[in-house]
Amino acid sequence: MAEEKENNFEDEIKVSKNENPEEQFKDHPEVINLQNELSSMSKDNIKKTTDNLRSEISQLSSSITQLKKKRAEHNSQARHYRAMRNNVSEEKAEIIDKLQTQANKEKELRDKCNEEIKINKQRREELKDEIRNAWAKVKDLREKYYRMKDEVGVMPDELTNEIRELEWTQQTSSLSSNEDAEITKRITELYEKAYTAHLIGFSSDELEKAVEHAKKLSQEHDQAHEIVLVNAEEGQKHHEKMIKLFDEINNTRAGGGDLHERYLDERHAADAAHQNIVEIYEKIKLKQYLLDLIDDEQIRRRHEKSQQMKEQQIESSKEKSASSKRLTLEELRLIMGEEEEEDSDE
């Protein structure tokens, strides 16, 4: 039976690299749009566009790495199924199929554990900073609490309640002038303390909520850590079972009538990954060409600015010479250099 030729990624890329980017992308919308805007772009916009293009290239390169890995896996599986199809008896196909299904299930369970580990490790790391910040806030509020106790002596709610009671007494009770004066004095003292409490900015409710939030984050961190440990243990068990099943498959070296279909499925999957890689390389080539256009524009601007500065220096030197002022050696060279250029043009 004729075998399909394994995809050759390097040959595809060599063909792509030999094409002239200027000719290849001259009618591309992104190129046309950039060329139209480039001359009027600010320096900040150029930097932002450059950073975005480099970021896109980096992301595309990461995608290529993943696709290469996928392609290699599919090629490996295709070779495996082809060898099984050619070398093993059909009577053992059912055994291999069952073992393969079990191995795939164990791989799926292992990968699921690994994904849980990844997610919870990331969350655990995020929680470390959150916990640090949460307990720092608790510490700050506790310092405000101690300051409140030292400078005011009571909590803001207690001050408010006492002020209300004293004001109510003044409004509803018959008091002597001395008693009224004493209450007024006390109210004034309490308002001063209330103002100090306001400046300190302490809230007992806020402290309670901050402590509760910090404890909750700590519990969440411990839970995430426990999930990492549990899934690491479970994942290792599934991995060991998967390896054992693949060893049984290799030792049995059996195949079945569906092995050719599996081989073709893996070949088609590898070809699809390969085609994606080629397409992504074309995208990277486009992004790099856009970066080259930006580089050309920046070089043009630097040259233009240099020429303007040179012309200004020449004009300044001429004015200085006309006023019979002494020229520096550099100024003299500028004037003589311009005269030589004019003679050359003539």
Q: What predicted TM-score, i.e. pTM, was given to this entire model?
A: 0.42
Tokens of 131: 């916990």
Greater pLDDT, 316 or 233: 233
DSSP secondary structure string for all residues of 69-82: HHHHHHHHHHHHHH
Domains contained in the chain, CATH given? 90-255 (1.10.287)
Lowest-confidence range among 48-57, 126-135, 229-238, 278-287? 126-135
Lowest-confidence range among 50-59, 101-110, 143-152? 143-152
Q: Which band of pLDDT confidence, cut at 50, 70 and 90, is reported for residue 102? A: very high
Amino acid present at 190: L
- The closest of 253, 231, 308, 284 to 61, measured between CA atoms, is 284
Task: Give me the pLDDT at residue 281, please.
Answer: 94
Residues 6+ apart with CB under 8 A from 213: 134
Greatest alpha-carbon pair distance for the chain in Å reads: 118
Task: Give me the pLDDT at residue 80, please.
Answer: 87
Angle at alpha carbon of residue 131, lines to 125 and 136, rounded to 5°: 140
* Dihedral sign from CA coordinates of 252, 258, 264, 269: negative
Lowest-confidence range among 38-52, 246-260, 267-281, 293-307? 246-260
Q: How far is CA 210 from CA 192, 217, 311, in A?
A: 28, 11, 66
Residue 200 scores a pLDDT above 80: no
